[in-house]
Amino acid sequence: MAAKGGEMKLLGVWDSPYVNRVQIVFNLKGLSYEYVEEDLLNKSELLLKSNPVNKKVPVLIHDGKPIVESQLIVQYLDEVFTGTDPSVLPANPYGRATARFWAAFVDDKVGSPWHTILFAREAEKKADAASRVMVALETLEGAFRDCSGGRDYFGGDGVGFVDVVLGSYLGWFKVFEKMIGVRVLDAARTPLLAAWGERFAAAEAAKDVLPDDVDKVLEFLQQFLD
């Protein structure tokens, strides 16, 4: 499907959960776009010009105008393509507010420790961060029960905003297990969320986006740790 008002270009890195969630929404809505892989050790002029404040991916360039921050990009796509099903955010204001709350919770309580697990030098800091992720997932187990209403996703019958935000970390949970020997998403602790994770990772929009080669991810990560 052609973009409204012009072509779309996504600047990203293949294993970034923040980039992956945008790609998943593109797939959900069947939207066409150009993907540009960035080298974070040698950032392009286009990236630096498009996101001069944070100098980070993802950046969506739509009709020459940059939109930054993954959650904002996802919401932007949902608003611009309102007639393109499925909608990622709920139709009613309360549902949208609730989804935004839990999406912000995910990036705060899962995203922040994710960064620590990857880049902290001390094993104790990595282990503490993994514990914080597990506590957050236990809270999200209850959120899933409430938001899903017994259906398959946080969004109900179909993938929604919280699914996309949390689901983008699923490949990295496997990386954590190999890095530090901790399974943060475990059916023994969070059975509903574990089953949800399997469904989401197998969903058509996500299955070819989420990184699934743990060794490849670790090899890529190593260049930022040396």
Q: Does CATH place domain 93-223 in 3.40.1410.10?
A: no
In whole angstroms, give the CA distance from residue 105 to residue 39. 29
131 with 138: CB under 8 angstroms?
A: no
Please list the alpha-helical segments (H only) found in 61-213. Answer: 70-80, 93-106, 112-119, 123-148, 161-167, 170-180, 191-202
Residue 45, pLDDT > 70, answer yes
Tokens of 28: 């959900």
In the chain, what are the domain boundaries? 8-81, 93-223
Residue 42, pLDDT > 50, answer yes
In whole angstroms, give the CA distance from residue 57 to residue 144. 28
Output the pLDDT for position 4.
55
State which fold the 8-81 domain adopts. Glutaredoxin (3.40.30)
Tokens of 201: 């990772």
Residue 147, pLDDT > 50, answer yes
- Which pTM value belongs to this model? 0.96
Where does the pLDDT of residue 190 fall: very low under 50, low under 70, confident under 90, or very high at 90 and above? very high
| DSSP-based three-state secondary structure for 181 | coil
With a CB cutoff of 8 Å and minimum separation 6, the contacts of 106 are 136, 140, 162, 165, 166, 169
Output the pLDDT for position 76.
98
Residue 2, pLDDT > 50, answer no
Closest to 197 in 3D by CA, of 156, 157, 144, 161: 144
Where does the pLDDT of residue 177 fall: very low under 50, low under 70, confident under 90, or very high at 90 and above? very high
Please list the alpha-helical segments (H only) found in 31-84. Answer: 45-50, 70-80
Q: Between residues 83 and 4, which one has the greater pLDDT? A: 83
Instruction: Give the pLDDT mean for 115-120.
Output: 96
Residue 3, pLDDT > 60, answer no
What single-letter amino acid sits at 60?
A: L
Q: What mean pLDDT, rounded, does the chain reach? A: 96
Where does the pLDDT of residue 1 fall: very low under 50, low under 70, confident under 90, or very high at 90 and above? very low
In whole angstroms, give the CA distance from residue 198 to residue 100. 23
175 φ, ψ to 5°?
-65, -45
